[in-house]
Chain A
Amino acid sequence: MNISTMKLPEAHKNGENLRPSCCSILWDSEADHIVTASSADNSICIHDAVSPSNPPKILDNHREGVTVLALSPDSTCLASGSLDHSVKLYEFPGGDFKTNIITLKLPVCALAFNNKGWVLAAAGDDEGIKLVNTFTGRISRILKGHEGSITSMAFGPKNDYFASLDSTGTFIYWDLVFGCTLYVLKAIAPNYGSDVSLTNILAWSPDGNMLAVPGLKNDVVMYDGVTAERLFSLRGDHLRPICFLSWSPDGKYLATSGLDKQILIWDVDMKQIIGKQEFIECISCMAWKPHGKALAVIDVMGKYGVWESAVQSPMKSSSEDVPGLYVRNGFLLFDEEEESGNLNEDSFGESVPPCRKRLRQRHKNEDEWKKENDDELEYILKFKSFEKSYHGRKDNVANGKSGSRNVISNVVPKVQEAFQPGATPAKAGQRSFLCYNMLGSITTMEHDGYSRIEIDFHDTSRGPRVPAINDYFGFTMASLSENGCAFANPCRGEKNMSTLMYQPFSTWDNNSEWSMQFEGEEVRVVALGDSWVAAVTSINLLRIFTHGGLQRYILSLEGPVVTAAGFKDELAVVMHISPSLPSDDPMFEYRVFNIPNGTRPLRGRLPLTPGSCLKWFGFSDEGQLSSFDSKGVLRVYTNLYGGSWLPLFSASKLNKSEENYWVVGLNTRKLFCVVCKSPESFPQCTPKPILTLLDLSFPLASSGLGADCLENEFMMYKMHLSQIKKSIQEMGALGHDTTSLEDETFNLETSLDTCILRLIASCCNGNKLVRATELVKLLSLEKSVRDAITLVTALKLPNLAERFGNILQEKLHNEAIGNTVLPDIKSNCEDSIRTNNSASSKFFTAPKIGKTSDNIISSPLKHQTASFHLVDKEIK
Chain B
Amino acid sequence: MAGVSGPHASAFSAAEMEFLAEDEMIEIVPNMRMEPLNFISGDFGPFRPQIPTEVPLWLAVSLRKRGKCTIRTPEWMSVEKLTQVLEAERDSEKFQPLPFHYVEISRLLFDHAREDIPDVYMVRSLIEDIKDVRFHKIGTGLEIISKERTYALRLKNLSAMEANIVRPFVTKALETFHKLSSSEMIQETDHISNRQPQATNRGPRRQLKDR
A residues near B (Cβ < 8 Å) are 457-462, 672, 687-688, 690-693
**Chain B positions within 8 Å of A688 at CB level:** 50
Alpha-carbon distance between A703 and B67 when the two chains are bound, in angstroms = 50
Contact B50–A462 (Cβ < 8 Å): no
**Chain B positions within 8 Å of A693 at CB level:** 51
In the assembled complex, B94 has its CB within 8 A of some CB on chain A: no
Q: Which residue of A lies closest to B70 (CB)?
A: A688
Q: Given A460-B67, A461-B68, does the pair A691, B51 have CB atoms closer than 8 Å?
A: yes
In the assembled complex, B83 has its CB within 8 A of some CB on chain A: no
Contact A460–B51 (Cβ < 8 Å): no
Tell me the B107-159 residues at the A interface (CB within 8 Å): 118
**Chain A positions within 8 Å of B65 at CB level:** none
Contact B32–A690 (Cβ < 8 Å): no
Identify which of B49, B52, B67, B118 contacts A459 (C-beta below 8 A). Answer: B49
Tell me the B25-61 residues at the A interface (CB within 8 Å): 29, 31-33, 49-52
Alpha-carbon distance between A672 and B52 when the two chains are bound, in angstroms = 12
B residues contacting the other copy or chain, number (CB 8 A): 12
B residues near A (Cβ < 8 Å) are 29, 31-33, 49-52, 67-68, 72, 118
Contact B33–A459 (Cβ < 8 Å): yes
**Chain A positions within 8 Å of B52 at CB level:** 690-692
Contact B118–A460 (Cβ < 8 Å): no
Known: A461-B68, A690-B50. 6 other contacts (CB 8 A): A459-B32, A672-B51, A687-B118, A688-B50, A690-B52, A692-B51
Contact B31–A461 (Cβ < 8 Å): yes
Q: Which residue of A lies closest to B50 (CB)?
A: A458
**Chain B positions within 8 Å of A459 at CB level:** 31-33, 49
Q: Which residue of A lies closest to B49 (CB)?
A: A458
Alpha-carbon distance between A199 and B168 when the two chains are bound, in angstroms = 68
Contact B33–A690 (Cβ < 8 Å): no
Name the residue in B32, B50, B72 with the highest tally of chain A Cβ atoms < 10 Å from its Cβ.
B50
Alpha-carbon distance between A695 and B51 when the two chains are bound, in angstroms = 14
B41 smallest CB distance to A (angstroms)? 23
**Chain A positions within 8 Å of B32 at CB level:** 459-462
**Chain B positions within 8 Å of A462 at CB level:** 32-33
Q: Given A460-B31, A462-B33, does the pair A691, B67 have CB atoms closer than 8 Å?
A: no
**Chain B positions within 8 Å of A691 at CB level:** 50-52
**Chain A positions within 8 Å of B68 at CB level:** 461
Alpha-carbon distance between A688 and B52 when the two chains are bound, in angstroms = 12
Contact A690–B51 (Cβ < 8 Å): yes
A388 smallest CB distance to B (angstroms)? 40
Q: Which residue of A lies closest to B68 (CB)?
A: A461
Alpha-carbon distance between A459 and B32 when the two chains are bound, in angstroms = 5
**Chain B positions within 8 Å of A687 at CB level:** 118
Closest A-B pairs by Cβ, 5 of them:
A458-B49, A458-B50, A459-B49, A461-B32, A460-B31
Alpha-carbon distance between A26 and B140 when the two chains are bound, in angstroms = 72
Q: Which residue of B lies closest to A439 (CB)?
A: B49
Alpha-carbon distance between A118 and B3 when the two chains are bound, in angstroms = 93
Provide a sorted-by-A list of 14 A–B residue pairs whose CB atoms are within 8 angstroms: A457-B49, A458-B31, A458-B49, A458-B50, A459-B31, A460-B49, A460-B67, A461-B31, A461-B32, A461-B33, A462-B32, A672-B51, A690-B52, A690-B72
Alpha-carbon distance between A575 and B68 when the two chains are bound, in angstroms = 41
Q: Which residue of B lies closest to A441 (CB)?
A: B50
Alpha-carbon distance between A692 and B31 when the two chains are bound, in angstroms = 15
A622 smallest CB distance to B (angstroms)? 15
Q: Which residue of A lies closest to B52 (CB)?
A: A690
A464 smallest CB distance to B (angstroms)? 14
Alpha-carbon distance between A648 and B18 when the two chains are bound, in angstroms = 46
B128 smallest CB distance to A (angstroms)? 24
Alpha-carbon distance between A845 and B67 when the two chains are bound, in angstroms = 50
Alpha-carbon distance between A672 and B51 when the two chains are bound, in angstroms = 9
Alpha-carbon distance between A503 and B3 when the two chains are bound, in angstroms = 62
**Chain B positions within 8 Å of A690 at CB level:** 29, 50-52, 72
Q: Which residue of B lies closest to A688 (CB)?
A: B50
**Chain B positions within 8 Å of A458 at CB level:** 31, 49-50
B129 smallest CB distance to A (angstroms)? 25
**Chain A positions within 8 Å of B31 at CB level:** 458-461
Q: Which residue of B lies closest to A689 (CB)?
A: B50
Alpha-carbon distance between A501 and B52 when the two chains are bound, in angstroms = 34
Alpha-carbon distance between A735 and B68 when the two chains are bound, in angstroms = 40
Alpha-carbon distance between A438 and B67 when the two chains are bound, in angstroms = 20
B62 smallest CB distance to A (angstroms)? 15
**Chain A positions within 8 Å of B29 at CB level:** 690
Alpha-carbon distance between A462 and B48 when the two chains are bound, in angstroms = 12
Alpha-carbon distance between A459 and B51 when the two chains are bound, in angstroms = 11
A585 smallest CB distance to B (angstroms)? 34
Alpha-carbon distance between A460 and B32 when the two chains are bound, in angstroms = 6
**Chain B positions within 8 Å of A461 at CB level:** 31-33, 68
**Chain A positions within 8 Å of B33 at CB level:** 459, 461-462
B197 smallest CB distance to A (angstroms)? 50
A232 smallest CB distance to B (angstroms)? 29
Q: Which residue of B lies closest to A461 (CB)?
A: B32
Alpha-carbon distance between A457 and B118 when the two chains are bound, in angstroms = 22
A439 smallest CB distance to B (angstroms)? 9
Alpha-carbon distance between A361 and B50 when the two chains are bound, in angstroms = 64
Alpha-carbon distance between A460 and B118 when the two chains are bound, in angstroms = 22
Alpha-carbon distance between A692 and B72 when the two chains are bound, in angstroms = 14
**Chain A positions within 8 Å of B50 at CB level:** 458, 688, 690-691
Q: Which residue of A lies closest to B47 (CB)?
A: A459
Alpha-carbon distance between A687 and B50 when the two chains are bound, in angstroms = 12
Alpha-carbon distance between A248 and B51 when the two chains are bound, in angstroms = 56
Alpha-carbon distance between A460 and B49 when the two chains are bound, in angstroms = 8
Alpha-carbon distance between A691 and B52 when the two chains are bound, in angstroms = 7
Alpha-carbon distance between A461 and B50 when the two chains are bound, in angstroms = 13
B34 smallest CB distance to A (angstroms)? 9
B124 smallest CB distance to A (angstroms)? 18
**Chain A positions within 8 Å of B118 at CB level:** 687
Q: Which residue of A lies closest to B67 (CB)?
A: A460
Q: Which residue of B lies closest to A456 (CB)?
A: B31
Alpha-carbon distance between A457 and B51 when the two chains are bound, in angstroms = 13
B47 smallest CB distance to A (angstroms)? 10
B177 smallest CB distance to A (angstroms)? 53
Alpha-carbon distance between A689 and B68 when the two chains are bound, in angstroms = 17
B199 smallest CB distance to A (angstroms)? 44
Name the residue in A457, A458, A692 with the highest tally of chain B Cβ atoms < 10 Å from its Cβ.
A458
B76 smallest CB distance to A (angstroms)? 18
Alpha-carbon distance between A692 and B33 when the two chains are bound, in angstroms = 16
A661 smallest CB distance to B (angstroms)? 15
Alpha-carbon distance between A457 and B49 when the two chains are bound, in angstroms = 9
B52 smallest CB distance to A (angstroms)? 5
Alpha-carbon distance between A678 and B32 when the two chains are bound, in angstroms = 30
**Chain A positions within 8 Å of B72 at CB level:** 690
B9 smallest CB distance to A (angstroms)? 46
B132 smallest CB distance to A (angstroms)? 30
**Chain B positions within 8 Å of A672 at CB level:** 51
A442 smallest CB distance to B (angstroms)? 14
A687 smallest CB distance to B (angstroms)? 7
**Chain B positions within 8 Å of A692 at CB level:** 51-52
B55 smallest CB distance to A (angstroms)? 15
B53 smallest CB distance to A (angstroms)? 10
Q: Which residue of A lies closest to B31 (CB)?
A: A460
Alpha-carbon distance between A806 and B29 when the two chains are bound, in angstroms = 54
Alpha-carbon distance between A293 and B33 when the two chains are bound, in angstroms = 70
Alpha-carbon distance between A687 and B68 when the two chains are bound, in angstroms = 17
Q: Which residue of A lies closest to B72 (CB)?
A: A690
Name the residue in B29, B67, B118 with the highest tally of chain A Cβ atoms < 10 Å from its Cβ.
B29
Q: Which residue of B lies closest to A460 (CB)?
A: B31
Alpha-carbon distance between A672 and B49 when the two chains are bound, in angstroms = 12
Alpha-carbon distance between A659 and B118 when the two chains are bound, in angstroms = 23
Alpha-carbon distance between A692 and B50 when the two chains are bound, in angstroms = 9
Alpha-carbon distance between A693 and B33 when the two chains are bound, in angstroms = 16
**Chain A positions within 8 Å of B49 at CB level:** 457-460
Alpha-carbon distance between A458 and B30 when the two chains are bound, in angstroms = 8
Alpha-carbon distance between A458 and B51 when the two chains are bound, in angstroms = 9
Alpha-carbon distance between A800 and B33 when the two chains are bound, in angstroms = 49
B184 smallest CB distance to A (angstroms)? 58
